[in-house]
Amino acid sequence: MDIKNKRIMVTGGSGFLGKFLVQRLKKEGCDQLFIPRSAQYDLRRQDAVEQVFRDSKPEIVIHLAAVVGGIGANRERPGEFFYDNLMMSTQLMETARLHNVEKFVGISTICSYPKFAPIPFREEDIWNGYPEETNAPYGLAKKMMLVQGQAYREQYNFNAIHLIPVNLYGPEDNFDPGSSHVIPALIKKCFDAIENGERELIVWGDGSPTREFLHVTEAAEAIVLATKLYDKPDPVNIGSSFEIGIRELVEVITQETGFNGKIVWDVTKPNGQPRRKLDVSRAEKEFGFRSEMDFRSGVREVIDWYRAERGLIQA
């Protein structure tokens, strides 16, 4: 698909991933982009969804908008995470179908995988078990996009694709301690401790889980490639294929931020999913995406950005 001259609506286009995706689409030559803002269009409401389609008349919809957060936020607001994410995606795809949208690109989450899926997670295993409990409502709500897209393809010949990215990181991430993910949360904790002269850093869990991370610019690249080149019903993992333990991650971030105090593991808090690592071979085979970013260099970039944002002088 030549996307340069298409009218493209990017929900969540002003969010973390969205901003980088919009930049990447502009670099591709796409100049008919519509970025609905939540203040104007509450995409949980059908009337707002219908209005956004009337206003934007999209030929392609890339659905990034989501209510997201770390383990703490998922535990506190499971109903909200389920309802908001389910209603947005379900109504958007149905309205896209009714408006004869040429392609719907649904962005899901690694949280939709079963808690004990074999490592590495292969797309074929996505239904072989229940997701990790702390973020299951969110993961299941997003996974319904896969079911809906496949059903719509079968009945209506609707071109919906489903991408499953790992945890993203990068500059301009969310550093709010109430809703941030592990990398920005740890970076902020380290700088807070340094500023306050604290000698201990409390980290949730026991450090045993592993995670895979993908730089936000690479996620944007993968989405653009898939939008142009992928038109099949099967879901596709988007990741780096680099697995790191939480203990090692904490070491990397403390070293790069300059925090040299004691790490205290709060084992009364949940670990989350035991391991996360994707099989990313399908993305490379189908549309040529492969991560090239060195993880430590990527983390250093985020730390440098955050240090500058806080007006801190590098030690």
Active site residues: 138
- Sign of the alpha-carbon torsion through 280, 284, 287, 289: positive
Is the Cβ–Cβ distance between 212 and 276 less than 8 Å?
Answer: yes
Residue 63 is encoded by which pair of tokens?
A: 């659905």
Of 109, 70, 113, the residue nearest 89 (C-alpha): 109
| Residue 150 to residue 234: CA distance in whole angstroms | 8
Let me know: does 261 contact 194? Beta carbons within 8 Å: no
Phi first, then psi, for residue 106 (nearest 5°) are -95, 130
The length of the chain in residues reads 315
Q: Are 12 and 37 in contact (CB under 8 A)?
A: no
Residue 158 · residue 172 · CB < 8 Å: no
Do the beta carbons of residue 110 and residue 219 sit within 8 Å? no
Q: 292 exposed, middle or buried (CB, 10 Å; 0-12, 13-18, 19+)?
A: exposed
The amino acid at residue 152 is: Y
Residue labelled with tokens 């908008």? 65
**For the CA atoms of the chain, what is the radius of gyration?**
19
